[in-house]
Amino acid sequence: MDFIAIFSIFILACFVGYFVVWSVTPALHTPLMSVTNAISSVIIVGALIASAAAGSATSKWLGLAAVVMASINIFGGFAVTARMLAMYKKKER
Amino acid sequence: MDIQSLLAAATDGHGAVNPWAAVAYLVSGVFFILALRGLSSPASSQRGNRFGMIGMTIAVVTTLVTHVPMKIGDATNSYVGIDAVAMAEILAAIGIGAVIGIVMARRIAMTAMPQLVAAFHSLVGLAAVAVAAAAYLNPLAFGIADAAGQIYTVSRIEMGLGIAIGAITFSGSVIAFLKLNGNMSGAPIMLPARHVINLGTLAAIIGLVAYFTFDQSPWVFWTVTALSFLIGFLLIIPIGGADMPVVVSMLNSYSGWAAAAMGFTLGNTAMIITGALVGSSGAILSYIMCRAMNRSFISVIAGGFGGDDAAAGAGGAKEQRPWKPGSADDAAFLMSQAENVIIVPGYGMAVAQAQHALREMGDLLKKEGVNVKYAIHPVAGRMPGHMNVLLAEANVPYDEVFELEDINGEFAQCDVAFVIGANDVTNPSAKTDKSSPIYGMPVLDVEKAKTVLFVKRSMGGVGYAGVDNDVFYMDQTMMLLGDAKKMADDIVKALNGGGH
């Protein structure tokens, strides 16, 4: 993909982010942070590519280290978000 | 032209991405948008989190399928095909991360959530650095270099930015973690001429990233990395404990931009969409936190606020004024006779672990027919929305918890405002006294309530901002001095004993 196409996606996604995040209720700002943490670890994609590539041993081990770190974040981030969200309960009537 | 070269032409330039994989990454990005969208209400939030997990699964599986490690036969071994050992290593790496992550998520106390988030941010930063370094060392594997190993100019800028933002996120988050976790004092550390040092380092980083486009030698790349680690550290050490909610939000934003920069390098839409979402999310949260403290973003970054100096400075000028003490029994009687009670919890309440006793108190009052509500100031906790989580953990229903702007009008009609572990966020001088350090900060109008019950450890201490609170000395205020948890427990006992 050429740079302009990618850049367009990026700018549009910034706008989507702006509107979606303002619609998040302030009561859920902490879960918002932990879930954004989890999804920003989509960087694991780059780590997996590096780990699977032949050609440089250093690059492969850096990739594997990044896979571990991103994976801690993904599993930890989604799990802690789920734990928090399960605590939010409505009034019993 | 055959199919293969058509596909190659379609994805030329930024990594040889298979078009089906590109579609899968786009779908994954859409799931991430839906994940954040779900957080617009607690009712839809759990589904949102599941969308996030689906999006991540799609991204990871797509990458695993399209980037299977291959073994290419050599002189001693003619085997060509899947490299099972490398595949096992990758799956083991995911597994190790999964175990560590899930154990951390299960064990963490809700009061320690800001530290956990800071720790997670540092991991995103370091992972971004590792990926950028891996891409630099093996650019052909990422499809960002020509046959001679020359990395494309655009990719060099993206990579340089990625490693810089990643490194800043890492070292900044480590400092934020140490400060929040109490391993390091919350007091700002002010280096002499720090603005000159910081701006100089920043200029050097930008200059070197620009130079990197002409010269891809290792020294340029690693100097950028080292300077970025350094600036992340330098940027956060002068920021005081009171500004940590802004810092955590800001680092959240950086971790997003780091992911986006790496997304540009790899031409990966899932990473770009996510990076933009997380980047804007962190930026908006920083803005909300700054507004709630009436601080400008620049003054937070410049640092120095919320240290010991401020507290010491205001302490000297304090005069002795009369105030009215009260007991748990008085508080129990006043609240059980009231029609409307608004509870204002602050971080001191969470530190004393009083949330469960507080909720029990609220339940007993409700049984007496009292209308109980909770009022939350945006900076009541140590990160955005922290107090809401702490109350939710104590089983306070979320529809009894209100944000500042939604409840501030109700204090005038309420019989009792019960302030526990909060101080600065109730200080009316923020509205009237132009010389006050917290002037202009939005505050909860507790002074408008018919009676104010103020739970506080002693009359000596002052809040983060180091200013005295006029509410203590008003006629309708009763000071309940003592530990927040013990006071709440005693009120519960009094309500149980006296009411029935």
The ipTM assigned to this model is 0.95
Which of A28, A46, A86 has its CB closest to that of B385? Answer: A28
Planar angle of CA A44, A49, A51, nearest 5 degrees: 90
| C-alpha to C-alpha distance for B224 and B165, rounded to whole angstroms | 10
**CA-based R_g, chain B, Å:** 27
Give the per-residue pLDDT at B305: 63
Kindly determine whether residue A40 and residue B256, on different chains, have CB atoms separated by under 8 Å.
Answer: yes
Spatial contact of A88 and B401, defined as CB atoms under 8 Å apart:
no
Kindly determine whether residue A51 and residue B89, on different chains, have CB atoms separated by under 8 Å.
Answer: yes
- Minimal Cα–Cα distance from B279 to chain A, Å? 8
- Minimal Cα–Cα distance from B230 to chain A, Å? 21
The DSSP secondary-structure symbol of A92 reads P
Binning pLDDT at 50, 70 and 90, where does residue A18 land?
A: very high
Q: What residue type is B228 in one-letter code?
A: S
**Chain A contact set for B381 (CB, 8 A):** 30
**Chain A contact set for B278 (CB, 8 A):** 17, 36-37, 39-40
If you count them, how many residues does chain B have? Answer: 500
Give the per-residue pLDDT at B312: 39
Which of A69, A81, A84, A89 to probe by mutation at the B interface, max B CB count within 10 Å? A69
Strand B416-420 with B401-403, pairing: unpaired
Kindly determine whether residue B67 and residue A48, on different chains, have CB atoms separated by under 8 Å.
Answer: yes
Distances, alpha carbon B162 to alpha carbons B180, B248, B387, in Å: 26, 20, 34
| C-alpha to C-alpha distance for B184 and B176, rounded to whole angstroms | 9
Surface-to-core class of residue B431, CB atoms within 10 Å of its CB (0-12 exposed, 13-18 middle, 19+ buried): middle
C-alpha B444 chain-centroid distance? 23
Closest CA to B49 of B31, B29, B75, B72: B31
The residue in chain A having the minimum alpha-carbon distance to the alpha carbon of residue B399 is A90
**Chain A contact set for B49 (CB, 8 A):** 31, 35, 78, 81-82, 85
Give the per-residue pLDDT at B463: 60
Which of A33, A43, A92 has its CB closest to that of B131? Answer: A43
- Minimal Cα–Cα distance from B474 to chain A, Å? 31
- CB neighbour list of residue B435: distance below 8 Å, 6 or more residues apart: none
Residues 35-54 of A with CB under 8 A from B: 35-54
**Chain A contact set for B98 (CB, 8 A):** 71-72, 74-75
- Minimal Cα–Cα distance from B412 to chain A, Å? 24
Give the per-residue pLDDT at B73: 65
Give the per-residue pLDDT at B70: 81
Residue by residue, pLDDT tens for chain B (500 residues) are: 454 454 444 444 444 557 888 899 999 999 999 999 999 999 999 999 999 999 999 999 999 998 888 877 666 666 777 888 889 999 999 999 999 999 999 999 998 999 999 999 999 999 999 999 999 999 988 888 888 888 888 889 999 999 999 999 999 999 999 998 888 887 788 888 888 888 999 999 999 999 998 888 899 999 999 999 999 999 898 888 778 888 999 999 999 999 999 999 888 999 999 999 999 999 999 999 888 888 888 878 776 665 444 443 444 445 567 888 888 888 899 899 999 999 999 888 888 889 899 999 999 999 989 999 999 998 888 888 999 999 999 999 999 999 998 999 999 999 999 999 888 888 888 888 887 778 888 899 999 999 999 998 877 665 666 677 888 888 888 898 888 899 999 999 998 885 44
Kindly determine whether residue B285 and residue A55, on different chains, have CB atoms separated by under 8 Å.
Answer: no
**Chain B contact set for A77 (CB, 8 A):** 101, 105, 120
Closest CA to B472 of B313, B312, B293, B325: B325
Give the per-residue pLDDT at B14: 43
Distances, alpha carbon B35 to alpha carbons B76, B86, B431, in Å: 50, 32, 38
CB neighbour burial string for A69-92, b if at least 16 within 10 angstroms, e if fewer:
bbbbbbbbbbbbbbbbbebbeeee
Closest CA to A25 of B378, B359, B49, B114: B378
B146, B308, B330, B424: the catalytic one is B424
Kindly determine whether residue A31 and residue B45, on different chains, have CB atoms separated by under 8 Å.
Answer: yes
Q: What are the backbone angles phi and psi of residue B296, rounded to the nearest 5°?
A: -85, 150
pLDDT in tens, B238-292: 888 778 888 999 999 999 999 999 999 888 999 999 999 999 999 999 999 888 8
Return the beta strands (E) in B390-490 as ranges. 401-403, 416-420, 451-456, 477-481
Strand B81-82 with B340-345, pairing: unpaired
Binning pLDDT at 50, 70 and 90, where does residue A23 land?
A: very high
Pick the CATH number of B328-496 from 2.60.120.10, 3.30.70.270, 3.40.50.1220, 3.30.1950.10: 3.40.50.1220
Which of A30, A83, A89, A92 to probe by mutation at the B interface, max B CB count within 10 Å? A30
Stronger pLDDT, B12 or A74, i.e. the higher one: A74
Binning pLDDT at 50, 70 and 90, where does residue A43 land?
A: very high
The residue in chain A having the minimum alpha-carbon distance to the alpha carbon of residue B249 is A33
**Chain A contact set for B395 (CB, 8 A):** 87, 89
The residue in chain A having the minimum alpha-carbon distance to the alpha carbon of residue B41 is A25
Concerning whether B445 is annotated as a catalytic residue, the answer is no
| C-alpha to C-alpha distance for B197 and B231, rounded to whole angstroms | 9
| Delimiting residues of CATH 3.40.50.1220 domain(s) in chain B | 328-496
Residues 62-81 of A with CB under 8 A from B: 62-81
Closest CA to B418 of B371, B466, B368: B371
Kindly determine whether residue A49 and residue B270, on different chains, have CB atoms separated by under 8 Å.
Answer: no
Give the per-residue pLDDT at B244: 84
Spatial contact of B115 and B181, defined as CB atoms under 8 Å apart:
yes
